[in-house]
Chains A and B, each alone.
Chain A
């Protein structure tokens, strides 16, 4: 059986661009969550009962 080739080089290039953007979005979200957590906790981390 011949292996099907459903995607052209253009299709693959578009998929690659989408993957890169998704990776960038995930990194941005990680930074966003980190900073937001710091802002919301504020000084309470240092002042918590140990």
Chain B
């Protein structure tokens, strides 16, 4: 049936003028909590890098990295709106809620992505901008569009996207990719699987409903708990890499060892818990602790550099 002129005009107006999201909805598209961890890890990369950068340019570099992270979040929410609507944790995000149209989220994300990469390239250096562009590409295309709905190893490989920010900041400060920045990358990269699988254990139903192949609903809870424990044990040698590359010192070694051993202890508690209820409680505890662990490990590196404490001599 042909549309009446008034209906057609209303539809055209809505299409032309976009959705009715508030400022807070657009802020939510940037995933502010993820962004805060990205900014913090980037600050650590910037401070730990050899050489010096003008404080203002350092600030601009962190701002660009934050904008790039926000862009990734917005593009992720644009693409994942269909599955976000099915999961309790994500159903109230701006796109599935209808506050922001998918086209707006796409436009917002692309604008921020292009602007952040261009600004970083023009104001700081091309290497950092290239790494930032690759990070956004990796998170949006490799993780969100490809791995997330295809393989239970999604967050293992996709975790690289979250591990790049200190490397981008390091490149911004030193115009180089060193073993020290790779050590910080690996610290976050190996932290990601136990962190997200702990979440997936107590949110298993959500992921299953949305058809996202997370490890618990593909390989089973027992296998997931084993993998969590193995990755947590692997954190011990990985956490030593900043020491061996001369990026961290004795304070990091001492406090970091205790923090990591406690990480393994909590992963062991999850592994050996037999019943579902205790398992959920243990995995929630591990999930919460994993956030504190990463923050504390990076903070230790930051403190050592800010206070100019002696660092270990690089082995590599």
Chain B contact-residue range equals 10 to 19
Q: CB within 8 Å of A: which of B114-129?
A: 123
List, in ascending order, chain A residues with CB within 8 A of B23's CB.
14, 17-18, 21
Question: How many residues belonging to A are interface residues under a CB distance threshold of 8 Å?
Answer: 17
Q: Is B255 an interface residue (CB 8 A)?
A: no
Q: Do A6 and B14 form a contact, CB below 8 Å, given A35-B56, A39-B57, A40-B57? A: yes
A3 to chain B, nearest CB (A): 8
Q: CB within 8 Å of B: which of A1-32?
A: 1-4, 6-7, 11, 14-15, 17-18, 21, 32
Is A1 in contact with B60, judged by CB distance below 8 angstroms? Answer: no
Is A14 in contact with B123, judged by CB distance below 8 angstroms? Answer: no
* A14 interface neighbour in B9, B13, B21, Cβ under 8 Å: B21
Is A11 in contact with B6, judged by CB distance below 8 angstroms? Answer: no
Is B5 in contact with A39, judged by CB distance below 8 angstroms? Answer: no
Looking at A11, A21, A35, A39, the one whose CB has the most chain B CB atoms below 10 A away is A39
Closest to A21 in B: B23
How far apart are the CA atoms of A4 and B5 in the complex, in Å? 10
List, in ascending order, chain B residues with CB within 8 A of A15's CB.
17, 20
List, in ascending order, chain B residues with CB within 8 A of A4's CB.
6-7, 9-10, 13
Q: Is B277 an interface residue (CB 8 A)?
A: no
Is A1 in contact with B5, judged by CB distance below 8 angstroms? Answer: yes
* A2 interface neighbour in B6, B20, B56, Cβ under 8 Å: B6
How far apart are the CA atoms of A4 and B9 in the complex, in Å? 7
Q: Do A1 and B6 form a contact, CB below 8 Å, given A36-B123, A39-B56? A: yes
B3 to chain A, nearest CB (A): 12
Is B20 in contact with A36, judged by CB distance below 8 angstroms? Answer: no
How far apart are the CA atoms of A39 and B123 in the complex, in Å? 10
Closest to B26 in A: A18
**A binding-site residues for B, Cβ under 8 Å:** 1-4, 6-7, 11, 14-15, 17-18, 21, 32, 35-36, 39-40
